[in-house]
Amino acid sequence: MAWMTRRRSIPDGLWMKCDACGAMVYKREVEQALWVCPKCQYHFSLSSPQRIRIAFDEGSFEETDADIAPTDPLGFVDRIPYSERLREMQQQTGLKDAVVIGRAKIEGRELFAAVMDSRFIMASMGSVVGEKITRAFERAYEHRLPIAIFCASGGARMQEGCLSLMQMIKTSAAARRYRDQGGVYIAILTNPTYAGVMASFASLGDIIVAEPKALIGFTGARVIQQTLKAELPAGFQTAEFMLEHGFLDRIIHRRDMRRELALLLDYCKPVFN
């Protein structure tokens, strides 16, 4: 029975299942590969702290506007009251809402950045996300910096109704104003980037790149298929499909993201008015 004793002595949490290929992979190996499956190269979703550690120079990220918090203007109730859902998400994630913004550096190049976090109600865009994305563009102009936004979202936040939908216009206007002022905006689409976010600021980058196999679109493939009653092309809504059809400028593996963004920041410098 010695083998049973050895088996019980293996700590829990050393292995994890890949969401894409289903393989059991050593968690430490996945973490060392920047949360990419060593078997199939599937890119796991990252929290905003993980993304900040991977994407930016160590200790360079200086968060701004951290105290903006959502309210419950509609008194919305689904399974639970929206106010209670917000408290749960804030306790679980340590965030006030689904995006973090601030100044940062990538291999010494200064920029302003926003990082969306899908742990917080699927990074849906409510009034706070819209306000912080808008402020990110405004801060980038104030500091005469390029901006990069790591996008990840399931879309608009239904619990805020029209206040959420208004953020599409607000963020799009902010992106256009920043461009007209001479700024450079790099949008990085991660898995998934959908709906209202995709239909607004996520699709308005001067340069639009994505991580491999990221799902990108306005609405889900299953909804489209059911509505059109038609078979969709292979790979529909993947980053590779979008690149082939001219929607993306490039697909960048996570291990190369910092280096590639540094090169883009060198090539595309803002010329502010």
Q: What is d(CA 107, CA 91) in angstroms, rounded to the nearest whole number?
A: 33
Task: Supply the pLDDT for residue 273.
Answer: 86
For the chain, first and last CA: distance in Å? 76
C-alpha 264/C-alpha 120 separation (Å) is: 30
**Residues pairing with 126 in the sheet:** none
Q: Find, among 112, 16, 7, the residue nearest to 56 by Cα.
A: 112
Question: What's the pLDDT score for residue 103?
Answer: 97
Q: Enumerate residues 6+ apart whose C-beta is below 8 A from 166.
A: 127, 130
- CB-neighbour burial class of residue 57 (10 A; exposed 0-12, middle 13-18, buried 19+): middle
Per-residue pLDDT tens, the chain, 273 aa: give them: 454 444 455 456 788 899 889 889 899 999 999 999 989 998 989 999 999 999 999 999 999 999 999 999 899 998 999 999 999 999 999 999 999 999 999 999 999 999 999 999 999 999 999 999 999 999 999 999 999 999 999 889 999 999 999 999 999 999 999 999 999 999 999 999 999 999 999 999 999 999 999 999 887 777 777 777 777 777 778 999 999 999 999 999 999 999 999 999 999 888 898
251: which strand partners?
210
Number of H helices, E strands in the chain: 10, 10
Q: What whole-number distance in Å separates Cα of residue 228 and Cα of residue 239? A: 22
**DSSP conformation class of 11:** P
Backbone angles phi, psi at 230, to 5 degrees: -145, 155
Question: Does a cis peptide bond (omega within 30 degrees of 0) precede residue 11?
Answer: no
pLDDT of residue 98: 95
- Residue entry with tokens 């083998």: 3
Tell me the one-letter amino acid at 186.
Answer: I
Q: Give the pLDDT of residue 269.
A: 87
Q: Other CB atoms closer than 10 Å to residue 93's CB: what's the count?
A: 17
Element (H, E) at 193: strand 185-194
Q: What is the pLDDT of residue 143?
A: 96
Integer CA distances (angstroms), 59 to 33, 209, 234, in order: 21, 25, 42
